[in-house]
């Protein structure tokens, strides 16, 4: 799904919500342990069914599956197959390696797992990203400014009146079309997000950090929404663990609906 098609879908649905499927074993509601299938698959299935009406994308962070070893990767593959084709499938993997190894990762995510998009680290430079860019019908989502406090250690460091993350993003943006490149920009830095939108009017931003990490939807939509470039706003824990009781799926649906309503209201106000 190219940039205009994705933007169109978001406008039709008036939602740019992405749900992060990061099942934390210790936080799973007890109800899923009574299921006939693996508790994580039962959990993901219920969450996807409950939230699909309100979101346009799902993001799977590989860490929450790798913790279970080979079984986790099986669950990851099974989870991907549960996501409807109407929704963008994002693997949040943050991979980054030298070229011939990066080529293996690109195949692993785009061919073996067949996701629509994968997050990657730009640290190793152009040749580490090139194998991903070869998949012109897929999205490569490059880390820009991450949502965590540790982004201040290096990414936000200033060099000649420019932060490292701005420099990195400006370089990367020269290497490939915005039709296949998104940037990760944390919701926890709304002022920086506003500035990045000025620098990158055409790029999709994948915005994590709403919910548990404290980012605010209205603020980031005002800062980052434009009629030329879009956003995907990711929420994971605040939806997944809205309730840990038997009503966890209904609670997740309710929470997702609340976020979607907030997003729709803000998009309407920005469009008017």
> What is the C-alpha to C-alpha distance for residues 160 and 105, in angstroms, rounded to an integer?
34
Q: Does 151 bind a copy of itself (CB under 8 A)?
A: yes
Decide: 169 and 188 in contact? Cβ < 8 Å. Answer: no
Lay out the site mask for a copy of itself across 162-201 (x = CB under 8 A, - = otherwise).
Answer: --x--xx--x------------------------------
Contact positions with a copy of itself (CB under 8 A) in 198-227:
none
How many residues would you count in the chain? 272
> What is the C-alpha to C-alpha distance for residues 260 and 266, in angstroms, rounded to an integer?
10
Q: Does 97 bind a copy of itself (CB under 8 A)?
A: yes
For the chain, first and last CA: distance in Å?
27
Decide: 256 and 50 in contact? Cβ < 8 Å. Answer: yes
Stretch that binds a copy of itself, among 30-38, 43-51, 150-158, 255-263 (CB under 8 A): 150-158
Nearest distance from residue 45's CB to a copy of itself, in Å?
A: 18
Stretch that binds a copy of itself, among 11-19, 51-59, 62-70, 256-264 (CB under 8 A): 62-70
> What is the C-alpha to C-alpha distance for residues 134 and 132, in angstroms, rounded to an integer?
5
Decide: 41 and 241 in contact? Cβ < 8 Å. Answer: no
Decide: 249 and 222 in contact? Cβ < 8 Å. Answer: no
Q: Does 228 bind a copy of itself (CB under 8 A)?
A: no
Decide: 262 and 217 in contact? Cβ < 8 Å. Answer: yes
Closest to a copy of itself by CB, 160 vs 272, is 160
Angle between helices 99-107 and 126-133 (to 10 degrees): 30
CA distance readout (Å), 125 to 118, 122, 184, 203:
17, 6, 16, 19
Active site residue 94: yes
Of 94, 126, 138, 157, the active-site residue reads 94
Stretch that binds a copy of itself, among 36-44, 74-82, 223-231, 258-266 (CB under 8 A): 74-82
> What is the C-alpha to C-alpha distance for residues 69 and 78, in angstroms, rounded to an integer?
15
Closest to a copy of itself by CB, 234 vs 266, is 234
Closest to a copy of itself by CB, 52 vs 145, is 145
Nearest distance from residue 272's CB to a copy of itself, in Å?
A: 35
Number of residues that bind a copy of itself (CB under 8 A): 58
Lay out the site mask for a copy of itself across 24-43 (x = CB under 8 A, - = otherwise).
Answer: x-------------------
Nearest distance from residue 101's CB to a copy of itself, in Å?
A: 5
> What is the C-alpha to C-alpha distance for residues 114 and 107, in angstroms, rounded to an integer?
9
Residues with catalytic annotation? Answer: 94
Residues that bind a copy of itself (CB under 8 A): 22, 24, 61, 63-64, 66-74, 76-77, 94-99, 101-102, 104-105, 107-109, 112-113, 121-129, 143, 146-155, 157, 159-160, 164, 167-168, 171
């Amino acid at each position: 799904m190219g940039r205009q098609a994705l933007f169109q879908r978001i406008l039709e649905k008036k939602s740019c919500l992405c749900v992060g499927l990061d099942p934390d074993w210790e936080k799973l509601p007890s109800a899923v342990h009574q299921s006939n299938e693996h508790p994580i698959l039962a959990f993901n299935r219920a969450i996807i069914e409950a939230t699909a009406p309100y979101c346009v994308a799902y993001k799977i962070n590989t860490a929450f599956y790798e913790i279970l070893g080979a079984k986790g990767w099986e669950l990851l593959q099974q989870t991907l197959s549960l996501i409807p084709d109407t929704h963008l499938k994002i693997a949040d993997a943050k991979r980054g390696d030298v070229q011939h190894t990066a080529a293996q990762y690109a195949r692993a995510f785009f061919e073996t797992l067949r996701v629509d998009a994968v997050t990657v680290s730009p640290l190793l430079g152009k040749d580490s990203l090139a194998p991903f860019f070869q998949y012109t019908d897929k999205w490569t989502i490059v880390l820009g400014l991450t949502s965590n406090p540790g982004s201040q250690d290096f990414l936000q460091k200033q060099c000649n009146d420019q932060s490292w993350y701005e420099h990195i993003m400006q370089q990367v943006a020269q290497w490939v079309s915005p039709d296949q490149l998104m940037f990760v920009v944390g919701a926890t830095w709304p002022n920086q997000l506003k500035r990045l939108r000025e620098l990158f009017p055409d790029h999709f931003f994948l915005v994590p950090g709403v919910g548990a990490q404290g980012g605010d939807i209205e603020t980031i939509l005002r800062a980052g929404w434009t009629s030329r470039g879009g956003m995907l706003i990711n929420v994971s824990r605040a939806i997944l663990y809205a309730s840990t009781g038997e009503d966890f799926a209904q609670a997740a649906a309710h929470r997702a609906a609340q976020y979607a309503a907030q997003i729709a209201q803000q998009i309407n106000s920005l469009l008017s």
